[in-house]
């Protein structure tokens, strides 16, 4: 939870029609102090968003952010863009870009994400590397540079940390994954209230019930938040390359659903998340596979 007073100050510059919702958001932040955490570690990608945020055992380009081990088996050079309009407020938008390059030494990746507006934003730049060790084990690492900017001359604060992930295809049907952000508890060099950078640990599994039906679930512990978050999602390939997805998340309680469609070199995933008090969020992600 980041400095309320600063947040309140920048609220005053926001358009009146969004004011009510934002005040509700602030109220919830103050009452539960649970919904709002740093977004450096927010799961990325339209697929994860539609499946309740569960992503620790999935593969693909967005694994770069969700569990870097998952991009070890990427076949083609890929570029991804992702936009999340949380609670339909422009001030809480979440933008990401990612690029991954499979080489014979393993997959290299570069990611960027930004949350917030010009008055308050969180930025992360990551350099990732993932490698598979045989069919059964993938390991991924991402080095991060984090930058927190607060408007009205409060300045900006930076930190350096890393994330680690492993994934394992234990059987043809079962994949397990673990991910830890900031395992050795680095923190910001200096902040107003000595905010701690959290340690975040996730683990979970993906289970392929049939060729076209996948279930995922995971648990997340963020050391700067009360309790744990449980996430689960289902994906069904209704037609060739057309996916229907749904998911659920606790703490905060969110229901989500979405669709995805892929053509030869591009894939688009759209998701919507519903929170009981804060309303809907919309996520759109696109992945382009480059080269042959």
Binding site for other proteins (CB under 8 A): 133-134, 136-137, 166, 168, 170-171, 173-174, 176, 178, 180, 183, 185, 196, 199, 201, 203, 205, 219, 221, 223, 227-228
Cβ closest to other proteins, residue 30 vs residue 170: 170
Residue pair 146/161 in contact by the 8 Å Cβ criterion: yes
In angstroms, what is the minimal distance from the CB of 1 to other proteins? Answer: 15
Least Å distance, CB 108 to other proteins, is 23
To other proteins, the closest distance from the beta carbon of 122 in angstroms equals 21
Q: Which residue reads 């209704």 in tokens?
A: 238
CA distance 202 to 52: 14
Residue closer to other proteins, measured from CB, 133 or 242: 133
CB of 266 to other proteins, least distance (A): 34
Q: Report, in Å, the least distance between residue 127 CB and other proteins.
A: 22
Measured CA to CA in angstroms, residue 271 lies from 46, 48, 66 at distances of: 6, 9, 17
* Interatomic CA distance for residues 98 and 276, integer angstroms: 31
Contact residues for 218 (Cβ-Cβ < 8 A; gap 6+)? 54, 55, 56, 57, 177, 202, 203, 204, 205, 230, 231, 232
CB-nearer residue toward other proteins: 63 or 139: 139
Task: Tell me how far, at minimum, the Cβ of 169 lies from other proteins, in Å.
Answer: 9
Of the pair 131, 196, the CB lying nearest other proteins is at 196
Q: Which is nearer to other proteins, 200 or 234 (CB)?
A: 200
| Of 83 and 207, CB closest to other proteins | 207
Is residue 162 within 8 A of residue 141, CB to CB? The reply is yes
Of the CA atoms within 13 Å of residue 244, those in its CB half-sphere come to 3
Alpha-carbon distance 132 to 77, whole Å?
16
Question: Three-state SS string across 153-172, please?
Answer: CCEEEEEEEEEEEEEEECCC
CB of 59 to other proteins, least distance (A): 16
Q: Which is nearer to other proteins, 156 or 223 (CB)?
A: 223
* Distance in Å, CB of 184 to other proteins, minimum: 9
Cβ closest to other proteins, residue 113 vs residue 178: 178
């Amino acid at each position: 939870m980041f400095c309320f007073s600063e947040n309140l100050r920048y609220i005053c510059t926001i358009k009146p029609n969004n004011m009510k919702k934002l005040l509700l958001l602030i109220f919830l932040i103050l009452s539960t102090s649970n919904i709002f955490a740093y977004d450096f570690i927010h799961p990325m990608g339209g697929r994860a968003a539609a499946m309740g945020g569960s992503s620790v055992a999935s593969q693909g380009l967005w694994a770069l952010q969700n569990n870097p081990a998952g991009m070890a088996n990427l076949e083609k050079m890929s570029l991804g863009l992702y936009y999340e309009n949380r609670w339909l407020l422009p001030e809480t938008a979440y933008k990401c870009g990612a690029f991954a390059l499979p080489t014979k030494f393993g997959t290299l990746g570069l990611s960027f994400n930004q949350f917030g507006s010009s008055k308050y934003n969180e930025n992360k730049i990551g350099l990732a590397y993932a490698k598979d060790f045989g069919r059964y084990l993938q390991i991924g690492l991402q080095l991060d540079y984090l930058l927190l900017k607060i408007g009205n001359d409060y300045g900006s604060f930076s930190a350096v940390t890393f994330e680690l992930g492993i994934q394992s295809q234990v059987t043809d049907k079962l994949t397990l994954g673990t991910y830890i952000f900031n395992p050795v508890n680095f923190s910001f060099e200096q902040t107003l209230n000595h905010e701690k950078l959290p340690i975040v640990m996730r683990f979970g599994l993906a289970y392929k019930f049939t060729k076209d039906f996948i279930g995922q679930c995971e648990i997340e512990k963020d050391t700067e938040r009360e309790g744990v978050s449980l996430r689960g999602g289902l994906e069904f390939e209704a037609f060739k390359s057309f996916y229907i997805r749904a998911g659920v998340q606790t703490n905060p309680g969110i229901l989500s659903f979405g669709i995805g469609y892929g053509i030869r070199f591009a894939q688009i995933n759209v998701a919507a998340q519903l929170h009981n008090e804060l309303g809907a969020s919309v996520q759109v992600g696109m992945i382009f596979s480059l080269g042959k």
